[in-house]
Chains A and B, each alone.
Chain A
Amino acid sequence: MIWLDVLVQGILLGGLYALFAAGLSLVFGIMRLVNLAHGDLIVFAAFLILVVVQTFGFNPFLSALIAAPAMFAFGWALQRFVLNRVLGKDILPPLLVTFGLSVALQNGMLEVFSADSQRLAAGPLESASIDLGPVTVGTMPLLTFASAVLVIFALNRIFYTTALGRAFRAVSDDPTTASLMGINPKSVFAIATGLAMVIVTIAALYLGMRSNFDPSIGPARLLYAFQAVIIGGLGSLWGTLAGGAIIGVAQTVGAQLNPEWQILAGHIAFLVVLLLRPRGLFPRAVD
């Protein structure tokens, strides 16, 4: 029975990693942009939520709702005025710019918020649990996983049933021909990054409620996000959820065997998938 518990806890943990990864997957899927500042943007969003909590006294969920449009605007502007300028055939300039952004964000947050650990207090929700018979699950991990499923479901609906999603896929396939259809690829990219920042805000909400955060933890979140995206198959949204779950399960299984192996087990699972399926579990047909 203990292993069933380990499996369930691992899958639920995977929900958090999938939330870390969904925004990265969205941006990569549409514009082949690897955003090295993604983890720091999650931490930045967590601090933004914290500021709203401390300023207005709202609970973290309401604060995230207020932070989300601000993050959308930030993402839109970041893409429109910075990242669009460096997108092109050469993949190096966007990598360098987002790496620079990562460093700048970390140092900026350090300056403003100090190196102290922070947390978003969620009250009784933090320790609440639900008894599911053979296993008992924490309400917070369950809520995180449900949010991840909802986010990925919503993204899929946007991608496959809306005009915006059609434009996302068209510019991803061929930006020049998309522009011949009257679509401005750079505007579409800006909306995509804005949307990714809304998902980043949701990821930040759960990150902040489940664990402590400080300005330096972004790169490790990026690593988990990367691993989930690559395991799932670059650009595949449901694959990202599967990737997150695989890392989560590997970590909980590793921790069960030896608490020191938790993080290492996740990385080993990533390497094994990379060796067996270099394009991930659900690679896009068109790449």
Chain B
Amino acid sequence: MSHLLSTHGLTAQYGQFKALFGVDLHIDPGECVAIIGANGAGKSTLMRSITGVLKSAPEMILHNGTPIGALPADQILQRGLAMVPEGRRLFPSLSVEENLLIGGQIRKGSGRWSLDEIYALFPILKERRHSPGTALSGGQQQMVAIGRALMSNPELLLCDEISLGLAPVVIRDIYAALPTIRATGAAVIIVEQDIARALIVADRIYCMMEGRVTLTAPAKDVSREAIHAAYFGAAA
């Protein structure tokens, strides 16, 4: 049986610089997978490849068994794979509500998520809905970015470094929304540098270092030593 999403020997490069060296991973419907690794490990490049921002060979990425590696980003979204990009990347010209609406403008999908449901998940956004998206605090912007991705009712939500640069209390609030998101049946890939948090929320983890997967394991079984070795490349 084919996975919801899988990569097979995925490579990527920026000009002459090779960033991914044959990455294999998979995720099944409803699953939550965390990808951990230090800065420069290739996590964000992996996300950019999966979502079509970086082109790959078609067979390197399969969605329900169909090669999608060469599809552009807009067609990847239309297949039900939505990303919360690193750094939020809200549209400065759009209000909070418009930022949310544009997420579901092309693909509405069949599912729970609508403007009202996003406001129920993050009530502060309803109060600030007419403000420019970029006038919000970092945490609120992250909520908009997550809401924007959910508006397309994706089968798979890819969250790239959603806790980066945020205060611990804000990170806690954002992660508190994850069970509600997963309850809709969506699979989630979380790219995270905070290992402890990744282990709490994920079913499985992949650890990356220098463009390669160095560890894959169920989150509940993996030892500190194994992660340490995979994360830093040092002997445990």
Determine whether A286 belongs to the interface, using a CB cutoff of 8 Å to chain B.
Answer: yes
A172 B93 Cβ-Cβ under 8 A: yes
Q: A178: which B residues are within 8 A, CB to CB?
A: 91, 102
Q: A286: which B residues are within 8 A, CB to CB?
A: 92-93
Q: B148: which A residues are within 8 A, CB to CB?
A: 181
Q: B93: which A residues are within 8 A, CB to CB?
A: 169-170, 172-173, 286
Interface of B is mostly: loop
- Expressed in whole angstroms, the Cα–Cα distance for A163 and B106 within the complex equals 10
A181 B89 Cβ-Cβ under 8 A: no
- Expressed in whole angstroms, the Cα–Cα distance for A157 and B103 within the complex equals 21
Of A174, A176, A177, A182, the residue contacting B105 (CB under 8 A) is A182
A-facing mask of B37-63, CB < 8 A → 1, else 0?
000000000000001110000000000
B105 A180 Cβ-Cβ under 8 A: no
Determine whether A184 belongs to the interface, using a CB cutoff of 8 Å to chain B.
Answer: yes
- Expressed in whole angstroms, the Cα–Cα distance for A178 and B51 within the complex equals 12
Determine whether B191 belongs to the interface, using a CB cutoff of 8 Å to chain A.
Answer: no
B-facing mask of A152-194, CB < 8 A → 1, else 0?
0000000000010011011011101111111110000000000
Chain B CB within 10 A, most for which of A170, A181, A285: A181
- Expressed in whole angstroms, the Cα–Cα distance for A176 and B73 within the complex equals 8
Q: B147: which A residues are within 8 A, CB to CB?
A: none
A-facing mask of B5-24, CB < 8 A → 1, else 0?
00000000000000000000
- Expressed in whole angstroms, the Cα–Cα distance for A72 and B112 within the complex equals 39
- Expressed in whole angstroms, the Cα–Cα distance for A179 and B53 within the complex equals 8
B53 A181 Cβ-Cβ under 8 A: no
A166 B105 Cβ-Cβ under 8 A: yes
Q: Which of A10-39 contact B (CB under 8 A)?
A: none
- Expressed in whole angstroms, the Cα–Cα distance for A166 and B77 within the complex equals 18
Of A169, A174, A181, A285, the residue contacting B106 (CB under 8 A) is A181
B89 nearest CB neighbor, chain A only: A177
Determine whether B72 belongs to the interface, using a CB cutoff of 8 Å to chain A.
Answer: yes
Q: B102: which A residues are within 8 A, CB to CB?
A: 166-167, 170, 178, 181, 183
A181 B77 Cβ-Cβ under 8 A: yes
- Expressed in whole angstroms, the Cα–Cα distance for A166 and B100 within the complex equals 11
A-facing mask of B77-111, CB < 8 A → 1, else 0?
11000110100010111100010011101110000
- Expressed in whole angstroms, the Cα–Cα distance for A163 and B74 within the complex equals 16
- Expressed in whole angstroms, the Cα–Cα distance for A179 and B83 within the complex equals 11
A180 B83 Cβ-Cβ under 8 A: yes
Q: A183: which B residues are within 8 A, CB to CB?
A: 74, 102, 105-106
Could you write out 30 A-B pairs with CB less than 8 Å apart? A163-B105, A166-B94, A166-B102, A167-B102, A167-B105, A169-B94, A170-B102, A173-B91, A173-B92, A173-B93, A174-B89, A176-B73, A177-B89, A177-B91, A178-B102, A179-B53, A179-B73, A180-B53, A180-B82, A181-B106, A181-B148, A182-B74, A182-B78, A182-B107, A182-B152, A183-B74, A183-B102, A184-B72, A285-B92, A286-B92
6 tightest A-B CB contacts, nearest first: A182-B106, A182-B77, A179-B73, A169-B93, A173-B91, A177-B89
Point out residues on B near A: beta carbons under 8 Å: 51-53, 72-74, 77-78, 82-83, 85, 89, 91-94, 98, 101-103, 105-107, 148, 152
**Given contact pairs A167-B105, A179-B53, A183-B74, a sample of 17 additional A-B residue pairs in the complex whose CB atoms are under 8 Å apart:** A163-B105, A166-B101, A166-B102, A169-B93, A169-B94, A170-B93, A172-B93, A173-B92, A180-B74, A182-B78, A182-B106, A182-B107, A183-B105, A183-B106, A285-B92, A286-B92, A286-B93
